[in-house]
Structure 1
Amino acid sequence: MIKVKTFDENHELDLQDKVNDFLKTIKEEDFIDIKFSVGVVSLIDKEQIFCFSALIIYKTQ
């Protein structure tokens, strides 16, 4: 069976840590792919909010 796991963080290093922690839990041969995206919203007061997301595609037994 093929599954996906999604991650969403406000800081890229937090996302990196979460993805790396998850990858430790699956076998290397079960890993298929990672998709990465960044979203940003600019607010009226010039503040920017970032959203870093990753989708891991992997196989399960």
Structure 2
Amino acid sequence: MLKIKLFDEEHEADLEEAVNGFLENLHESNIKDIKYQVSISDSLREEEEPTIYSYSIMVIYIE
């Protein structure tokens, strides 16, 4: 059965660690595709962080 696993982190290193941990449990032949995306948002409020990053990966795999 084809499935997806979504990962979303604010820091690249955290995303890398989460995805690598998941991939350790999958056989390479079961991985069909991996999609990567970065989103950037600027806050208009002074009390919030000025720029927010979101790093996302979707792993498409066979279970």
Same fold (TM over 0.5): yes
Runs of 4+ in 1 over 6 A off after TM superposition: none
1:1-61 to structure 2, matched below 5 A, reads: 1-44=1-44, 45=46, 47-60=50-63
| Partner SS, residue 41 of structure 2 | strand
Aligned-partner residue type, residue 11 of structure 1 = H
**CA RMSD, aligned part only?**
1.1
Q: With the length of structure 2 as denominator, give the TM-score of the two structures.
A: 0.89
Aligned residues: 60
Alpha-carbon distance in 1 for matches of 2:59, 2:43: 30
Alpha-carbon distance in 2 for matches of 1:34, 1:13: 17
